[in-house]
């Protein structure tokens, strides 16, 4: 069904995912409509398929981004317990999902994209700068792109005026397949909080499943295996030859 969702325009792509039940919440649909995938995909932006973006990385198919948000939505949206949601996007790549997430966290929220390759960090930031809304998000510091090893999580200061809500993460999205559910990410997940992470099933790296990790208010963790996927690996940054 997902592969029938491609369209000639951004609106057609999102409408097709909505009609086929891949987006089920109107708030998610509205967020996707605000972000033109053409600013983030180097070719065929409205195809419901992954696209290479260089450095052995990809921008995932739109239906995979929609699935990630569907499974984490209640933690992404502002609430009485978390009026300023903090979201960590590990392996932010093109910056597309980072931008969509920023459309959902409310005016007081924070989304941080972490990349271990400087060129990809700059790519995400540059792509977001192509639109007026993207530039506003960057200038307000509601979205930040950082260079680092996302497997170790990330420590980011709160936005000005939000210091009382701590430095952990309400949501952690991992955009590449990990060899394990890294303990540093679990430690940085708030209670309550939610993580969406693809994990290798074996050492081959060919068998992968997405896991939804949920931490309740008491810090108890539950893990649910969702579905099989094929993601690029979450690896060390490549060594440079000087």
Predicted local distance difference test score (pLDDT) of residue 239: 58
Would you state the pLDDT for residue 165? 65
User: By 3-state DSSP, what share of the chain in percent is helix, strand and coil, each rounded to 5?
Assistant: 30, 25, 45
Q: What single DSSP character describes residue 234?
A: -
Q: Which residues pair with 114 in a beta bridge?
A: 90, 146
- The token duo for 101 is 């997430």
Tally DSSP H helices, then E strands, for the chain: 7, 9
pTM: 0.92
How confident is residue 162, by pLDDT bands cut at 50, 70 and 90?
Answer: confident
Of 52-66, 83-97, 131-145, 169-183, the range with the lowest mean pLDDT is 169-183
Name the strand (E) or helix (H) holding 190. Answer: strand 189-200
Confidence band of 177 (pLDDT split at 50, 70, 90): confident
Out of 6, 41, 43, 60, which one is annotated catalytic? 60
Cα 24 from Cα 22, distance rounded (Å): 6
Bigger pLDDT: 203 or 103?
103
Indicate the pLDDT class of residue 2, thresholds 50, 70 and 90. Answer: low
Give the per-residue pLDDT at 233.
67
Whole-angstrom Cα distance, residue 117 to residue 123?
A: 10
Q: 54-229, superfamily in CATH?
A: Vaccinia Virus protein VP39 (3.40.50.150)
Q: Specify the 3-state DSSP secondary structure of 137.
A: helix
| pLDDT at site 241 | 41
Q: How high is the mean pLDDT of the chain? A: 90
- Sheet containing strand 86-90, edge to edge, reads 143-147, 110-115, 86-90, 169-174, 189-200, 208-215, 221-229
| Cβ atoms of 170 and 194 closer than 8 Å | yes
Residue 61 CA to residue 97 CA, distance in Å, equals 11
Answer yes or no: are the C-beta atoms of 68 and 97 closer than 8 Å: yes
Give residue-wise pLDDT tens across range 136-150: 999 999 999 999 999
Name which residue leads in pLDDT, 190 or 179: 190
Strands 143-147 and 110-115, by their bridges, are parallel
Q: Tens digit of pLDDT for each residue in 181-224?
A: 889 999 999 999 999 988 887 665 567 888 899 999 999 999 99
pLDDT at site 88: 98
Which of 202-205's residues contact partners 24+ apart within 8 Å by CB, and which partners?
205/177, 205/233
The residues with which 173 forms a beta bridge, in sequence order, are: 89, 196
**Gap between the Cα atoms of 130 and 8, Å rounded:** 20
Report d(CA 240, CA 14) in Å as an integer: 39
Of 88, 94, 49, nearest to 196 by C-alpha is 88
Q: What is the pLDDT, as a whole number, of residue 79? A: 94
Q: Kindly state the percentage of the chain with pLDDT values over 70.
A: 89
- Mark whether 60 is an active-site residue: yes
Average pLDDT over residues 117-135: 97
pLDDT higher for 180 or 57?
A: 57
Domain residue ranges of the chain, discontinuous segments joined by +:
54-229
Give the pLDDT band of residue 135 (cuts 50, 70, 90).
very high
Rounded to the nearest 5°, which phi and psi values hold at 124? -60, -45
- pLDDT above 60: residue 58: yes
């Amino acid at each position: 069904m997902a592969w029938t969702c491609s369209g000639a325009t951004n609106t057609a792509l999102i409408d097709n995912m909505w009609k086929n039940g891949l987006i089920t919440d109107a708030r998610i649909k509205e967020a996707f409509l605000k972000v033109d995938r053409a600013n983030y995909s180097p070719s065929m932006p409205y195809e419901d398929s992954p696209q290479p973006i260089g450095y052995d990385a990809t921008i995932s198919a739109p239906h995979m981004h929609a699935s990630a948000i569907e499974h984490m939505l209640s933690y992404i949206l502002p609430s009485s317990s978390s009026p300023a949601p903090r979201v960590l996007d590990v392996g932010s790549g093109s910056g597309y999902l980072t931008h969509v997430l920023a459309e959902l966290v409310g005016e007081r929220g924070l989304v941080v994209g972490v990349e271990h390759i400087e060129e990809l960090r700059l790519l995400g930031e540059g792509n977001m700068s192509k639109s007026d809304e993207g530039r506003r998000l960057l200038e307000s510091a509601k979205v930040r792109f950082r260079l680092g090893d996302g497997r170790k999580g990330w420590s980011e200061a709160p936005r000005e005026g939000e210091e009382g809500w701590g430095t952990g993460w309400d949501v952690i999205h991992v955009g590449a397949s990990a060899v394990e559910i890294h303990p540093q990410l679990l430690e940085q997940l708030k209670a309550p909080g939610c993580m969406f992470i693809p994990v290798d099933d074996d050492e081959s790296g060919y068998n992968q499943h997405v896991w939804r990790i949920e931490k309740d208010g008491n810090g108890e963790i539950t893990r649910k295996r969702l579905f099989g996927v094929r993601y690029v690996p979450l690896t060390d940054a490549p060594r440079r030859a000087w």
